[in-house]
Amino acid sequence: MPGEVWILVESLRGQVLPTTSELLTAGRRLADAAGARLVAVHLGPGADALAPGLDGADALLAVDHPALAILNPDLWVRVLEALLAERRPRFLLMGNLGYELTADLAARLDVPCLSSCQELVLEHDTLVGTCRVYGGKLLAEVTSAAPMVLAQLLPGAFAPLPAGPAPAVEKIACPVSLEDPGTTFLGLDMPPAAEVDITAAPVLISVGRGIGAAENLTLAEDLAAALGGTLAASRPVAELGWLPKARQVGKTGQTVRPRLYLAAGISGAPEHLEGMQGAQLIIAINTDPQAPIFQVAHYGVVGDCLEILPALTAALRAAEDA
């Protein structure tokens, strides 16, 4: 309905994806500021099973059609265009799916869209988005007071909401024909299961090029063991084959939100920061005092991680023995 805030649910194989929880957080803030309902929108079957994972939404609007079970941009845009044109919500927020859908929808509906948003606020009925441009090298503040605005949010930018009641499900018939799609879904190839899930680790010791060599990883492994943590890496370390791709943090790796993220020898490229800046506590070790990682770190040490990592491990073990 007019004035509502919508978020597009992202799920896979019957599970709500973490990006959806972040969309709920951003949507809840906007809905509260506007005095509006927050509505989660799900395309495809299985909405009833997903509802408990969508706490924070006031309602779940579901288009239960088997052709929408897997993302097909042609069909999804067709359905969303019809829904938005009929119900006229004020905002529609999308996460990773927004990379495929936002621009096309905005052009079809002739409405503004904001991309790569890391913050959204409502100021005097105007949406203000902080958006990353030029690969994250710059931040742009974009505003719109239009009656409808689409926004694509960066994964990892918003912390999930506390658990709450599941929303009521409103199932509606598909508003358009889904015949003759422009593209055809052939199959889904999943990567092999990782030996460890760094997205679930409460403590991450992440190493970058500054670790020097593969044999120096034991210094980070020892500290991770002392803290009850898990070893992670920046992209150069994964590309060198020193650690598997499943342990890579960043835009082309995993988005993580641990309680503690210790970055050792990581300069802090925008692509890496995108994947870890949501950590509750960030500690950075780097020899360069101008390294971008220090801009997001809560605590920083200018020094050689090859010296500081074993010193931290020794101090922790000494404290345990005391």
SS3 letters for 130-174? EEEEHHHCEEEEEEECCCCEEEEECCCCCCCCCCCCCCEEEEECC
Judge whether 5-172 and 198-321 match in fold. yes
Per the CB < 8 A criterion, the answer to whether 150 and 88 are in contact is no
Residue 1 to residues 59, 61, 123, 296, Cα–Cα distance (Å): 12, 11, 21, 39
Residue partners of 180: CB distance under 8 A and separation at least 6: none
C-alpha–C-alpha distance, residues 110 and 67, integer Å? 26
DSSP state of 223: H
Express each pLDDT in 178-187 by its tens digit: 888 888 888 7
Please tell me the predicted confidence (pLDDT) of residue 275: 84
Average pLDDT over residues 269-297: 91
Closest CA to 311 of 124, 71, 303: 303
Confidence of residue 197 (pLDDT cuts 50, 70, 90): confident
Closest CA to 50 of 169, 196, 205: 169
What CATH code is assigned to 198-321? 3.40.50.1220
Mean of per-residue pLDDT scores for the chain: 90
Q: Which fold has domain 5-172?
A: Rossmann fold (3.40.50)
- Cβ neighbours of 49 (radius 10 Å): 12
Confidence of residue 150 (pLDDT cuts 50, 70, 90): very high
C-alpha–C-alpha distance, residues 260 and 48, integer Å? 35
Domain ranges of the chain: 5-172, 198-321
Helices (H), the chain: 18-34, 47-50, 73-87, 98-109, 217-227, 235-239, 270-276, 305-321
Residue partners of 315: CB distance under 8 A and separation at least 6: none
Confidence of residue 136 (pLDDT cuts 50, 70, 90): low
